Each structure stands twice: as structure tokens, then as C-alpha cells.
Structure 1
Amino acid sequence: VNSCKVNGTKFTKKKLIEKQLNSLFQAKTLKEILEETETICGKLNRFGIFNDLGVNLDVPKSKILDNENEVDIIINLKEKPRFWARTGTEVGNNEGNLNASLNLRNPFGTGETFEANASYGLCYSSPINGNPDRVFQTFASQKNMSHKIYSSFNEFSNNIGFKFRKISPFGSSEYGYVASWRQINQIGKDASFSVRSEAGNSFKSSLYYRYIKDTRNDQMLPSRGALFKFYQELAGLGGDVQFVKHEAETQWNIPLGKGFVSLRINIFFLIIRISLSSSLRGGLLLPLMNSRTRINDRFFIGGPLSVRGFNYFGLGPKDGKDVIGGDTYWSTGLSLYAPLPRLADKPIKTHMFVNAGSSILLNQKESLSENVNRLIRTPSISTGFGLAVKFSILRVELNYCLPVAITKTDDVKKGLQFGVGLNFM
């Protein structure tokens, strides 16, 4: 590499770009140059401050006759607007809300972002030492969440904290601290004693660690690859909430028959791309210092995104009509996906599935084996079939579900079930 020129950096500081280019001058072959250029463009993209990136390779004009083995590299960038406002709808796992936000991108020229939104949240993020794969964030937010769909209360919280995110070839790791003042309020007039006893304030001060490794070819409707998630939280660094929490999820997606199976129907041949998906999730919440677990820290499972064939958070412990969550759970699923005829290249698939899961409150008077036995001996199981459709920002499912094993506390949803979200079992 004889030289590298970068065009289009009006606000971005020179030192940020230079740090990304250092390894480029170590490349000695054309293959190495192309690989390093691709890596650098990937890093620049991950800053989130550029719209378009283009790369040109050229022979140095002054050395055409002297050395034919040197190249000049020209990187053309287009910076995104520094300030913008937006309104819209956020869609999550069976949740949605209207929002408005003001954003400031790259305010100091080194890849920072600042966002203020109408849900009373602030978040400031900055790449460490000009590296987009090492990001430090501070945040503050205020949330008001309604749980009335499945339990008779709302939750209001004020949160402040910081986190450090690191991306490597081995996955994404995030370390963070959160201080949260929570309030269980707006208790329903028919609320159970379990919900009423949770009313009032609590203060949680916790450290957490999150790890994600995702090799799937599509995050919402994959046909190959694997996902592994792991989450740990330790609460009790001050405040009146003390616990240790573990949660893990794994998913494997395998194309069958090298991706194709040939089926004969009458005189027509259909080539159908079939894939198998298996998922497993589990969690454990243990109270510390002779404390108790709280309803807003427990696990809630069931519904179209986890164990289909049951209503939203319809599995696990209940008191009357109120779902009160579990201290430990497991859920698993096996799905077979195939495209519709003549729509093989479209993001719509048919699928058949089997789901199972269980959730319990731990009994401190029982032994470990007795608690484990209660967790695994009476699983809730469902099967069914339906359609899965991927849109640009979410996945939609319409399924016919048939619960085949239930417990007395399960909230069953037999027949058609509709689901909207990002992360399905």
C-alpha cells in the first residue's frame, strides 16, 4: 500500500479514521489488502455515523514505471446527518408503544451518539479509543409498564447505570451496572394476596453480564446457524433486593437433505428447502441473605413467542387469576420449516412445531432434588402448525395450536394463535 486517502469526513476527526487504517499498511499481497479493506469498512460501518462507504484501488501515478506492485487506496465516505428527530412505533415481543426522540450523532467527531426520547430516557455512548467494537454507554430512563394483561398491577421505575460492550470473533460481551427504584402500583380491585403483598417500593442495585454468540443466517427466520445467550445478574450492592440470577438460551438451525428435499405430487415435482430448528431456554433466580424473590424479578413464560398453545405468560405459578412468575423455568421447542410453493424465495414459511415448558416457585423447605423433580415431572406440552412471516423489523406468526399436556394453573389457548415479536422459540 503506497497511500490511503479518505474523502467525505467533514465532522469526523482525523485520528478516529487513522486508527482504523493502521493495519492496512501491513498488508503485502492483494488478497491481504482486500481482506483488510473489508475489515476496515466493517469497523467504520459499526460506528453508525456513515451512510455510504466506497473503496477504489489505483496504481500510484508517480510510480507506474518504478514499481508495479504498489497501490493507492481511496475510501469515499458519506456522513449521516448529525442531528435528527423521529417519531414512530416500537414493536417488541408482543409489545408496542409510540415514541419520539431527539438524536445527536458524532457530536465530538469520534463516533459518539446522544439520544433523548419521550419515554424519559437518555443514553450516551462512546467508542473506547476509537474502536467501534469497544463501546461505553451511560443511561438513565423512566418506565411505566402495565402487566394488567396477565396480572393485576403496573410497574413504575427510575433507572440509571452504565455498561461496557465488547465484540470479538467469539461473540458479544456486555458488562453493566444498574440502579433501579421500582414501584408496584395501580393494584387491581380483584388482585390476589400475592400481588397485593408486592405493592410499594423497592430499590435494586445490581451488576450484570450478558454474552451473545449468533451465527444464524437470519435473526428472525433462520434456516442455518446457531445462537447462544447467557445472562447473569447479582443484586444486593445496596438496596433491599438481593438475589443471583442466571438465564441461558440456545438455538440450532439445520438445513435437511443438504437444504433440499424432492417431493412428487401427481405429475409435478416440487423442490422444497426444509430446515429444522431446536431451541432450549432456562433460568434460575436465587434469593440471598434470607430474602424473598419479588414478582418483578421472576421469570414469566408461555405464549406465541415461547411455549405456543398457551396464553401470554400463561404457564407457571398463579394466585387466583394473577400470574406471579417462577423462580426457575425451562422451555424447549422443535420446529420444521418449509417454504410455500412458488414462494421459496419469499420471507414466508410454513412450520410444524412441538413446544414444552415448566416454571415453579422454589420451596426453601424442600431439597434440591425435590425442587428439580417438581420442575421436570409435569411439563406443559403443545403441538401445531402455521405460518411464519418475516417483515423488515419483526416476525409474525399465525398458528393452529393443540395443547396435549397441561397443569391446573395453565392458561390454555387452543386453536388459532397470533404472535408478533423478534425472538421466537
Structure 2
Amino acid sequence: MHNDRWNKPTETAVFTPFAKSLRSASFCVMLSVAWLVPAPHADAQSYQFNTVQIDGNERIGDSAILSRAGIARGRAISAGELNDAYQNLQASGLFESVALEPRGGTLVITVVEFPTINRISFEGNARIDDEALASVVDSDERRVFNPTQAEKDANAIAQAYSNDGRIAARVQPKVIRRDQNRVDLVFEVFEGDNVEIERLSFVGNRQYSDRRLRRVLGTKQAGLFRRLIKRDTFVPERIEADQQMLRDFYLSRGYVDMRISAANAQLTEERDGYFVQFNVQEGQQFKFGELTVTSTINGVNADDYRGVIKTKSGAVYSPSLVETDIARMERKAIRDGVDFLRVEPVVTRNDRDLTLNVEYRISRGPRVFVERIDIEGNTTTLDRVVRRQFDSVEGDPFNPREIRESAERIRALGYFESAEVNAREGSSPEQVVVDVNVVEQPTGSLNFGGSFSSSDGIGVAVSFAEDNFLGRGQKLKLTVSTAEDAQRYGFNFIEPSLLGRDVAFGLNLDYAETSSSYNSFDTERIVFQPTLSFPVSENGRLSLNYTYDDLEMSERDDTTTGFVVANDIAAGRQVTSSIGYNYSYDTRRAGLDPTSGVLLQFGQDFAGLGGDTKFVKTTAKAIGEKRIFNEEVTLRATLQGGALAWSEGNNRVSDRFLIGPSIMRGFETGGIGPRDQSNGSDDSLGGNLFVVGSLEAEFPLGLPEEYGISGGVFYDVGNVWNLDDVEIPLGSSIVGESGSFRHVIGVSLFWDTPVGPLQFNVSKALKKEDYDEEQKFEVTLRTDF
């Protein structure tokens, strides 16, 4: 048993023992050929062998060798053909050495077979595990060892490390010989240090700062959490994608002449980091000029199609808005029964007033149909999950724009590391085959962590989530949270395409036991809630739900309970059975302005479908956001409210609106609104009505962007009031029933961490009531608008 290894780095490595044998074999053949053709007239010389003798082969049969050599018994062959036979055998990759020697009427073929691979292993790898490295290696155990393939495998491993930011990684293959002509193939890995991006900079950008442009890029500068965030390593392919992201960013804001003249990456002197610089030529910002529609199809009125265009003259030009208008016109054509309608945007440039006139030319496209959709690479995900991202099916007219949009939807699923969608000619020029090639990635997660809530205390949280359950595109989540004052167990399931339609079915099951820190009672609650949601317009979505809510309140031993809460506890377990709906209108992704967005929500729940209660509960929310000062500062305004109209049953504190810091900052949960101070208690009662408004601004603090820290200011105003239909026992001491508006100002610190975006708030109440419970400092997991 001994070790053999290549003498040079993997890029030019030669397998030493095999190379020596190869040189010997080559020398042997040269001598044989020289013996066969000693004179210039050897080209005319031919040989005829009645017998072929093959020596040295153990696994490969004689007939297979003769077939690869291309030699037949009894047929005359020239010296050149004999040399071709040698080359054929050598190129087969099966033999370490080959020799051909004529002996009268007998041709002796002597071969030395390559050994078989007994075992493949990796040494020295810590950053990338064996399983991941095995996936990039093409050599297989129990197959013939090929030095050329081993060299390619070593290069593939080195490339995997390069993609992980370790460009200095080196991989050296070696073999350990075993008996029975077997070898162990070992890849020795020297990982080297991680080469990070120390600085991302831009040259030529005047409209947008370096800080704003860095937020566009997928690549990030090395920051505080460099060991947890993988995007701060240098990957050339990622830099190329970043350039496209920059172009898309500028184009969506009207800079149609934007160019990236160069993207330079320079190693630091210590060779442990990169300086990456993008040279940008922004150009001028253009707006939409005149928008017109023309038609060359009989029976298609251009004015009718002009009416579906929502883009307005004077708006900042964006190719995505043009694509959206084309999609609207094509959908109208489908509704009108017009097949093969094509819309071609013709853009006319006006440099004087910096506008772009767009003429939408409607014409009859070629009669091309979708023959079939082929999907490959999805080992776990079912075909139908990918196929339902297509609006087109087999037999439909082919629409290139729809195929592009389908490709984007497939990538947005999050199930695949990469997804390529291409169209090619099918069985005839009138048929198109759509090829979908995907590479899957993990979609499940098991999380262990801690939880903190200002109302529930510190606890442990465990959750399992799978975004592509059983490859069906379904979402499944199981959660267990045990906080100091609350224990919650949850099950959530979502089927995004019920019965193959654009209808999402959801099922939510929750069991919770809470020991409220802001009231003198405990609760035990079971919630069962199935939902159906579906789009009703381009930006609108409607959700329908049924809710079964089983709640029991109980008195806590170590607290004093007010008369109203004591009355609620005495009512015992109460079941609420309700149906409801929620409508949302969201322009954040498909709006006309990429620097602004609006979210509108309105919902109602109607209780009385069985159960112990009967009421109507209405909630509404409106959020508007705008980025100003070249998108460095974000302004946000929020207005939300609710109303509870009670008809039957006991209107308990757990059913009314209790406002917490997530809605209005500066106060504890239930910190504002009516309170029961009878019997020495101080219970928050909530209210049948509430309204809260908020104004806030978020801005950079001048810190290095890799820290992920920004600042903000806010102003909140709100009120909770009304106890109509609440049974108030005699002797109760109630304050704040009529309500008053509280005003709060504060500052925020936003910190993007690997565990999520954290928000720290410090607030001061400008106006409040004496009985309110303030909360001047809070830490929350930020939710993005």
C-alpha cells in the first residue's frame, strides 16, 4: 500500500505513475510503428492479421477492445489505420497504457487497465461538508478511475470554494492503491481564508448616493455579522448580476441612458479582501410623453385599448409600466376573443423636453402555439407546482411576454437555486416547446431560539417550517413558544392553489395559555380558522374566513380582580363562531411609482353562526409610504381603527380592542383606554372603538452601511373608548370610558441582524391620562411595510 499524488497544482496536474506508464506505452508504440514503417514508402504498406491476441485485460472483454480499436480479423489495414486503432484505445479512458505489436500474422494488443475506484473521500474540508463536495464530483465509486476526470473534479471543488468566497482554496487529488487493481481517491483540500468585500463604491453617480445604490446590490460589504451573512464574499457571477440590478434600478426611475462602463475588483495588499468599484454613467431622467394606440387588426378599436392604459403622461418612465400596460391590453384581447394579438411598443425620444412618446402598435402575431412545456431538474417539486406558474397551457397561442413573466414567478417561489425558461421550435414551425430547467434548494427550516415580549416576558421558541411541503408548493409551520407569561402552540397550513385555481386555502390552529401581565386574569384559548383568499383585481385581494374561538377566563390567585373582570370570569367558557372577510389593496409591487406605495385593508367579522355571542367587528387600515431626497429618507403615514357592535352574549374584555405597542407606541398593552379601578384593582378593559394615527420618518445615521443601522423619528396619536353593551356591576369604579386622544413622540433605532430586523423605540408621551400605563422603551421585531 502506498500513496501517489500529482506533482503540480490541480490546474495542470499530471498523475505521475500513470504518466510514466503512458510515456512507456507511447514509446513502445512508437517503436512498433517505426518497425512497421521504416521507409518513406510505408504509407502504402498494409498488414493483414489472421489472429489478434489481447493481453492484460481483466474487466474489459476482448470483443469490446476490438470494437473500440476498430480492427477486424482477416482484413488488410495500413500503418495509419493501426495508429488510429492505438489512438482509439488510448482515448477510451479505460486504459492506463496501450501497446500494439504485429507478430507476423498475429497482432498483439497489450493493455493495462485503469483501476476501479474503491472509495472517494475528502480531507481538510471544514467550511463545506463532504455531502456538498460529493455533489460537485463526477467520479463515482466502483467505476473506472480516470486521472483527467479526477483533475476536473478537483477544479470543480476549487470553484465551489471560490463561489463561497475562498478564491485561494487549493485542491490536490491523490490515490491510495488497494489490492485487486483498486484505488481510494482522496481530495486533499486547503481551504484558505475567506476573501471578503471590504468596500463597495461607485463612480459617476450624482442622483443616488453610494449608500442607496448599495441597497440595490445582492453583494454586500463585510460587516459585523460576516460569519453569518454569505453575501459579503467575492463571487464574480454575483457581481455580474449586480450590474443588471443597477441597470434595472435606474431604468425603473427613468434613466434610460444609464450605462455601467466598468466593474472593477481589486485585491487588497494583504490579499484578504476586495475593493469593488462600479463606474456609472447615469444620464438624464426621462418621463412619459404622449401615449397612443394604433391597430392594424380589423374589428379591433384602438380607442378601446387606449382606455385600459393606466400610465399617465408626465409620469417617470419605466419599462415595467410599459410591460404592465401591454399585459392589460393582451388580457382585454383574450376577454374579447381576439387570438394572436401582439402589442409592440414603439418609443420616440424627445431630448429637448426629456420625454419618451410611446406608441402601442396592435397587430396580428404569427400563428404559433405552445406544443408542450418540459420541466427538468425538479427532483422534489411536483411538475404541477411549476406548471401552474404559466398562464399558457399546451395548445394556447404562444406569447413571449407571458413566458418571461412565468419565469419570474417560478424564480419568486423560492424553491429553486436557479430557474431557466427558454422556448424552442417544436415539431413544426407553428409549434413551440417551452423548456424549464431548475436546480432545487432546501425549503425547510428548524429553528430554536428565544422570545421576548414586553407583555409576556422571556421564553423559548421552537418552530418547524416547510415552504414546499412534499413538493406540492404547500406551506406548513409548527410553533411552540413557552414564555414566562404565555404558552402557545400553533399549526399553520397554506395551499396556494386550491383545485388548481388561483385560490389560496389556509388552516390555522392555535392553543394558548396566557397569564396577562397587564390584567388580573389568566386565559385559555383554542382557535380554529380556515380561510380562502383570491385576487379580485390587479392589486386587490379578498380573503374569506370562518373562526371558532373558545375562550375561558380564570382568576389569578395572587391578584385583586375588578368588578367588571370578575363578572367576565363568572360567565365561564364562551364560544364565538363567526364568518368574515378582509379586502386588501396593495400597490407596493405593481404601483406606478417605485418610490412610493399604498396599502389599504378593510375587514369585518360577523359572529352569531352558533356559539354564545353575536356581534359585528370592523377594522380598517391605510398606510402610505414615500421615499424622498433621492430615496435616502422614507416617510410613512398610517391610520387605523376599529368598531365593535355587540348584540348578544357577554361583551368581555378579551373581545374588545386592547391597544399595544405594535399599534401605538409609548404605552403597554392595554395601557390606554377605559380601566376598572374598583376593589383596589387596575384592570384594562379595552374599548368598542379605537383609532390610531402615526407619522414616521426613517433616515441614515452616517454609520458604515455594513453595520445595518439607521434611525427614525415618530409621532403617534390615538384613543380607545366606549363600553356600550358591557355589563358593569354596581359599585364599579370606571375611568376613561369616554376616552381622550394621547400624543406620543419618540426616536427609533433600526438594526438589520441575521435573526431579523430589530427596532428599538424610546418614546415620550406629550399628552396622556393619569391612569395610563407608559412604556418608554421597547424592543420589537420590525415588520416591513
For this structure pair, what is the TM-score category when the shorter chain's length is used for normalisation? 0.7 to 0.9
Q: 2: distance between equivalents of 1:313 and 1:142? A: 22
Q: 2: distance between equivalents of 1:394 and 1:346? A: 14
Closer, same or farther in 2 for the Cα pair 1:29/1:9, shift >3 Å? closer
| Equivalent AA in structure 1 for residue 777 of structure 2 | Q
Q: 1: distance between equivalents of 2:709 and 2:431? A: 49
Closer, same or farther in 2 for the Cα pair 1:29/1:10, shift >3 Å? closer
1:57 has 2:422 as partner: yes
Structure 1 residue corresponding to 2:659, chosen from 301, 305, 323: 301
Larger radius of gyration: 2
**Contact conserved, 1:172 with 1:213, CA < 8 A, in 2?**
yes
Q: 1: distance between equivalents of 2:454 and 2:764? A: 22
Structure 1 residue corresponding to 2:759, chosen from 389, 393, 397: 397
Partner of 2:717: 356
Deviation at 1:409? 2.7
**Equivalences for residues 204-219 of structure 1 within 5 A:** 204-216=576-588
Closer, same or farther in 2 for the Cα pair 1:195/1:340, shift >3 Å? same
**Contact conserved, 1:213 with 1:227, CA < 8 A, in 2?**
yes
CA deviations on 1:24-80 (whole Å, 9 max, x unpaired) are: 6646454443234324554xx2xx7x33341142644987xxx5x976432123456
The alignment partner of 2:392 has SS state of helix
Partner of 1:152: 520
1:314 has 2:314 as partner: no
| Equivalent AA in structure 1 for residue 638 of structure 2 | S
**Equivalences for residues 218-297 of structure 1 within 5 A:** 224-257=596-629, 259=630, 273-289=632-648, 291-297=649-655
TM-score, normalising length from structure 1?
0.76
Q: 1: distance between equivalents of 2:492 and 2:709? A: 36
Deviation at 1:180? 2.1
Partner of 2:500: 130
CA deviations on 1:219-273 (whole Å, 9 max, x unpaired) are: xxx973222222211111112122110111111111234x36xxxxxxxxxxxx2
Q: Percent identity?
A: 23
- Structure 1: gaps of 5 or more residues: 261-272, 366-373
1:193 has 2:550 as partner: no
The alignment partner of 1:198 has SS state of helix
1:339 has 2:700 as partner: yes
Structure 2 residue corresponding to 1:5, chosen from 374, 399, 415: 374
Deviation at 1:177? 1.0
**Contact conserved, 1:24 with 1:37, CA < 8 A, in 2?**
no
The alignment partner of 1:175 has SS state of strand
Deviation at 1:94? 6.8
Structure 2 residue corresponding to 1:35, chosen from 390, 405, 409: 405
The alignment partner of 1:246 has SS state of strand
Computed over aligned residues only, the root mean square deviation of the Cα atoms, in angstroms, reads: 3.7
**Equivalences for residues 90-129 of structure 1 within 5 A:** 98-100=460-462, 110-113=472-475, 116-118=478-480, 119-126=488-495, 127-129=497-499
1:183 has 2:552 as partner: yes
Figure out how many residues of one structure are paired with residues of the other and give that number. 385
Partner of 1:265: none
CA deviations on 1:57-116 (whole Å, 9 max, x unpaired) are: 2644987xxx5x976432123456698755445678976753445667767764445555
Deviation at 1:189? 2.3
| Equivalent AA in structure 1 for residue 420 of structure 2 | V
Q: 2: distance between equivalents of 1:83 and 1:351? A: 34
CA deviations on 1:344-391 (whole Å, 9 max, x unpaired) are: 6865322222111111123469xxxxxxxx867x31111122323344
| Equivalent AA in structure 2 for residue 340 of structure 1 | L
| Equivalent AA in structure 1 for residue 510 of structure 2 | S
**Contact conserved, 2:688 with 2:724, CA < 8 A, in 1?**
no
**Equivalences for residues 378-389 of structure 1 within 5 A:** 378-389=740-751
Partner of 1:143: 512
TM-score, normalising length from structure 2?
0.44
The alignment partner of 1:404 has SS state of strand
Structure 1 residue corresponding to 2:780, chosen from 405, 420, 424: 420
- Structure 2: gaps of 5 or more residues: 1-369, 481-487, 727-736
Range 10-19 or range 137-146, more displaced: 10-19
| Higher percent of residues as helix | 2
**Contact conserved, 1:164 with 1:175, CA < 8 A, in 2?**
yes
Q: 1: distance between equivalents of 2:401 and 2:711? A: 42
Closer, same or farther in 2 for the Cα pair 1:53/1:319, shift >3 Å? same
Deviation at 1:198? 1.5
Q: Which has the higher contact order (CA 8 A, sep 6+)?
A: 1
The alignment partner of 1:194 has SS state of helix
Deviation at 1:298? 0.9
